Amino acid sequence: MLDPELRAFAGASDGLQAERELAALIDSRVTPLVRTIVTRKLRDFGSPRRFQAEDLEDAVADALLVLVARIRRVREAPDAAAIERLDDYTATVAYSTCARHLRQRYPERARLKNRLRYVLEHDAQFALWEAPGAGLQAGRSAWRGAPPDAAVRARLADVAGDRDRWPAEWTAASGDGASLSPLVDAILARAGGPIGFDDLTRLLARICRLEAGAAPAGGEEVERLADSRVGPEALLDQRQATARLWTEIQALPVRQRVALLLNLRDAQGAGLLWILPVTGVASIRAIAGVLEMPAEELAALWSRLPMDDHAIASRLGCSRQQVINLRMSARKRLSHRLGNLAGVSASRIDR
């Protein structure tokens, strides 16, 4: 079964008409739904200043790249690529994209969320269930299946906003795996009813001092690039430095570009390629062009970045040592051409 909204695209008489139908579908139905989900999910995650327009647009663009590639397959391979409910598939991709962005920006909080899910699913005193129209709910086993209660959320929000009113179990929490079960138990005791899984995660992150306001992995320079508190002159300098670096990268031989960009990471090993779309220097499509690969292919790889040298070697058809040599050559050329840049220094790529 094919979603009725896709039939005009799938049955178009020629490629030009198909692209027109696809563009209309993306503009009228897919993009608004993606934008709604991404905006709500990222801004509901925590401190609004951490997700500005650039972050939202980047997440929307990532989701659309995946969706456009997938919808095109409906026409290219109709027997193998049917989408029965376009809205459901779009929502799944949008939520997955948001989750990937949050994991990349806040790895400690992502780990906390994973530990919480494990506790709720494996500790007999707790339960995790889906409430129609309200998403995942968490609570005691005896509450399983109960609908969410707005009064519970309001009660917890009121207490969470005032540290002076926190129970002793909350203030003493460290957030490690051993203390999570009793902390969840203490929160549920105060709640007195089911609480949304995301709400519980947010409260735990606050208690464990892993709020979204904490610096994302990647170091202070990376944080400043995405932080709206930076003054306009400093932000302009940083963007100009990033743009200059990007210009020089484009002048590298293509194999050096691939070896450098697909492995680009900070001192802690977190990927750094996201800086380019976040700062508006280069879109994901532009990055794909520099790497000489389809944008859809880069979008599929995005969650796996940075790639290790073995994977890059496989793509380039060479040895791991040759990849290392290519990247070293790229660094030397960039360091020679740029020296140290304000905000994004050449040393940032020398890792």
pLDDT tens digits along 80-121: 667 888 888 888 888 888 877 777 777 777 788 888 888 888
Rg of the chain on CA atoms, in Å: 23
- The predicted structure's pLDDT at residue 253: 92
pLDDT tens digits along 190-221: 888 999 888 888 888 877 776 544 433 333 32
Could you please report the per-residue DSSP string of 198-267?
HHHHHHHHHHTT--TTSPPTTHHHHHHHH-TTS-HHHHHHHHHHHHHHHHHHHTS-HHHHHHHHTT-B-T
pLDDT above 70: residue 51: no
More confident residue, 242 or 47: 242
